[in-house]
C-alpha cells in the first residue's frame, strides 16, 4: 500500500470512528469473501463493516481520540462502524458469529468508552429502539386509560346517585297517592 493510500485509509477510518454511534471490533479469520458479503448484508445500511490493517486502525483510533482499543487490534481485524442503532448491529454480529465460528467479537467502543465482549452481548440482548418505543407507548396508553377511568369515576358515581334519587323520588310519589 502506497503512503498516500495509507494516509487516506487512516483518515477514512478516523472519520468513521468520529461519525459512528458505536464500533464493534471483530476477528474474521477463516471467513470467505461471500460470507463477509452475507455479514455486510445482515448488518444493513446503517452499519459499515471494514477490514483494515491493525497499524492503520491504531493510527486512526489515535487520530479520532478513541482510547482503550489497542489490545483488540491483534490478528485479522475488521470493524463494524454503526451509524444507526447499535442494538441491531450487535444482534446481527452475534447471530452471524453463532453460525460462523470464524467471526469472533473482540469488543467495541460506544459513548466515548471501550466495551468488553460481555457488554456487546448485553447490547445485543436489548430490544431494538422501535420495540422499546412500542412498549413505552403501550405502557403510557395503559396508564392514560387508568387515569381516564379515575377521572370519570366521580362523574359516573354522581350520575348513578342522581338516577337513584330520581328512582326513589318516583317511587315515593307513587306510594304517596296510594296512602291518601
CATH code of residue 118: 3.30.70.1730
- The pLDDT of residue 26 is 92
- Environment class of 138 (CB within 10 Å of its CB; exposed 0-12, middle 13-18, buried 19+): exposed
The tens digit of pLDDT for each residue in 8-59 reads 988 999 999 998 989 999 998 888 899 999 999 988 888 999 898 999 999 9
What's the mean pLDDT in 120-144?
78
Cell, residue 35: 460470507
Cell, residue 173: 310519589
Using a pLDDT cut of 70, give the percent of the chain over it.
96
Phi, psi angle pair for 39, to nearest 5°: -60, -45
Nearest to 39 by CA among 87, 119, 97, 83: 97
Same domain, 37 and 119: yes
Same domain, 85 and 141: no
Domain that holds residue 132: 127-180
Amino acid at each position: 500500500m502506497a503512503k498516500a493510500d495509507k494516509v487516506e485509509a487512516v483518515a477514512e477510518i478516523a472519520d468513521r470512528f468520529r461519525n459512528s454511534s458505536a464500533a464493534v471490533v471483530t476477528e474474521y479469520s477463516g471467513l470467505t469473501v461471500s460470507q463477509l458479503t452475507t455479514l455486510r448484508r445482515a448488518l444493513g445500511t446503517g452499519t459499515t463493516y471494514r477490514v483494515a490493517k491493525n497499524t492503520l486502525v491504531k493510527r486512526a483510533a489515535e487520530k479520532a481520540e478513541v482510547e482503550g482499543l489497542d489490545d483488540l487490534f491483534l490478528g485479522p481485524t475488521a470493524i463494524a462502524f454503526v451509524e444507526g442503532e447499535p442494538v441491531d448491529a450487535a444482534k446481527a454480529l452475534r447471530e452471524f458469529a453463532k453460525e460462523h465460528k470464524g467471526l469472533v467479537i473482540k469488543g467495541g467502543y460506544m459513548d466515548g468508552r471501550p466495551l468488553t465482549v460481555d457488554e456487546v452481548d448485553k447490547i445485543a440482548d436489548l430490544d431494538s429502539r422501535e420495540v422499546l418505543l412500542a412498549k413505552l407507548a403501550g405502557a403510557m396508553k395503559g396508564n392514560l386509560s387508568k387515569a381516564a377511568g379515575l377521572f370519570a369515576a366521580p362523574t359516573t358515581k354522581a350520575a348513578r346517585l342522581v338516577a337513584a334519587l330520581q328512582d326513589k323520588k318516583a317511587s315515593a310519589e307513587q306510594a304517596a297517592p296510594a296512602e291518601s
